């Protein structure tokens, strides 16, 4: 998978996305400063959401449209919430321009056909399907038909939902797909993160896998990295004191910077399967055990458990010879503290 100039595969660094979401808080100045802060924090990408209250729901006060899910937004009506959180479409081009100037990739999550066509005019390099849209098969087909990478969050998805979404992409001839493990709670409990799924998604479906995270802190992104996540998305806010719908579970610049650092260190720690020793490891073997003479010895004396021991450092014979050399005789006189060597033993081969 390639998004703009960033190649995402099993050998690439993790692609780290800062999710703007509602954290513009109704100000384009805040939105632009957030983009700049995301760059400073080490993000590879800033992601937007493209909707209006009317494109995502109805202005209805029927009970179906009132949030009652044990969330931060319970009691609000959907239209009212989205009316205060949407990113004005006329801001998109400016935000994307700033992102480009900052060296950040920028794309968005569309929520209906009009937003897809709008984003196409802005030539976005990829699309993200939000967790709650994974059941919108016509939307996924439309997105996939644009021939760009499709990243799909699986926060509310069962296996059947995932397979329907994947099939929708493939019907459109698009196999450039990533699946993100997500827990759609805000914030999400860490004991529901289930990061082993990151590895399973990749293996089961043959796709790039990753994490869209709503937990607090950076533990889950680090664990996800260790399970093979190649994309990590986290809500990002300029300053939590500005408030807003997503502020409480978003990372500020300092927190995001720490997360990026932890993820990059985890990548280094994972390394690769390699049993060859580094020069440092070879040097470290000097502190390993080996066979040493521990008493002054004359030629012809018998090697015993009292005059030869396995001790540190590691310059003498390998301890694997210990049982073999007990009872043999010294070929020459040696001193206490001398390395035991093969040529100091009569007839040793």
Q: Could you report the per-residue pLDDT of 267-305, keeping only the tens digit for each?
A: 999 988 899 998 999 999 999 999 999 999 999 999 999
- Residue 183's pLDDT band (boundaries 50, 70, 90)? confident
Range of lowest pLDDT (123-132, 246-255, 307-316): 246-255
Token duo for residue 179: 């699946």
Task: Report the distance separating Cα 94 and Cα 101, nearest Å.
Answer: 11
Q: Given this model, what pLDDT does residue 61 score?
A: 94
Domain with CATH 3.90.1210.10 in the chain: 279-344
DSSP string, 235-263: EB-S-GGG--TTGGGSB-HHHHHHHHHHH
How does pLDDT run across 57-98, given as a tens digit for each residue? 999 999 999 988 767 778 899 999 989 899 999 999 999 999
Domain with CATH 3.20.20.70 in the chain: 7-51+86-270
Residue 131 has pLDDT above 90, yes or no: yes
Q: To the nearest whole percent, how much of the chain has pLDDT over 70?
A: 99
Task: Report the distance separating Cα 197 and Cα 205, nearest Å.
Answer: 12
48's enclosing H/E stretch is: strand 45-50
If one looks up domain 7-51+86-270 in CATH, what number appears? 3.20.20.70
Q: Mean pLDDT score of the chain, rounded to an integer?
A: 95
Task: Report the distance separating Cα 238 and Cα 339, nearest Å.
Answer: 64
Q: Given this model, what pLDDT does residue 349 score?
A: 81
Q: Given this model, what pLDDT does residue 107 score?
A: 98
Token duo for residue 66: 């009132």
CA dist 273 to 208, 228, 270, Å? 20, 14, 9
CA dist 29 to 89, 94, 237, 238, Å? 15, 11, 13, 11
What architecture is the 279-344 domain classified under in CATH?
Answer: Alpha-Beta Complex (3.90)
pTM of the model: 0.88
Token duo for residue 307: 């005059």
Task: Report the distance separating Cα 281 and Cα 303, nearest Å.
Answer: 31
Nearest to 118 by CA among 26, 52, 66: 52
In Å, how far from its chain's centre is CA 48? 20
Q: Given this model, what pLDDT does residue 269 score?
A: 95
């Amino acid at each position: 998978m390639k998004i703009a100039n960033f190649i995402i595969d099993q050998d690439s660094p993790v692609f780290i996305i800062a999710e703007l979401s509602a954290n513009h808080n109704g100000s384009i100045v805040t939105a632009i400063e957030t983009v700049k802060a995301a760059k400073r924090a080490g993000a590879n990408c800033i992601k937007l959401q493209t909707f209006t209250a009317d494109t995502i729901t109805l202005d209805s006060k029927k009970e179906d449209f009132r949030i009652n899910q044990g969330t931060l937004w319970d009691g609000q009506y959907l239209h009212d919430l989205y009316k205060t959180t949407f990113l004005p479409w006329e801001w998109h081009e400016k935000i994307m321009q700033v992102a480009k100037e900052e060296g950040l990739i920028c794309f968005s999550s569309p929520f209906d056909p009009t937003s897809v066509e709008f984003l196409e005019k802005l030539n976005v390099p990829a699309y993200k399907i939000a967790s709650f849209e994974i059941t919108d098969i016509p939307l996924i087909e439309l997105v996939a038909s644009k021939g760009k990478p499709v990243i799909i969050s699986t926060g509310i998805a069962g296996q059947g939902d995932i397979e329907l979404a994947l099939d929708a992409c493939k019907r459109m001839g698009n196999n450039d797909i990533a699946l993100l493990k997500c827990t759609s709670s805000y914030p999400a409990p860490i004991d529901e993160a289930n990061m082993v799924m990151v590895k399973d998604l990749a293996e089961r479906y043959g796709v790039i896998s990753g994490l869209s995270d709503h937990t607090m802190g950076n533990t889950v992104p680090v664990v996800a990295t260790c399970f093979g996540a190649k994309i990590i998305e986290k809500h990002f806010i300029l300053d939590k004191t500005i408030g807003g719908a997503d502020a409480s579970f978003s990372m500020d610049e300092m927190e995001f910077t720490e997360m990026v650092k932890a993820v990059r260190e985890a990548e280094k720690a994972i390394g690769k399967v390699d049993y060859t020793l580094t020069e440092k490891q070879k040097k470290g073997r000097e502190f390993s055990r080996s066979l040493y003479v521990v008493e002054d010895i004359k030629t012809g004396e018998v090697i015993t458990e009292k005059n030869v021991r396995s001790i540190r450092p590691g310059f003498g014979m390998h301890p694997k010879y210990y049982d073999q050399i007990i009872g043999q005789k010294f070929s020459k006189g040696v001193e206490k503290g001398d390395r035991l060597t093969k040529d100091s033993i009569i007839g040793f081969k």
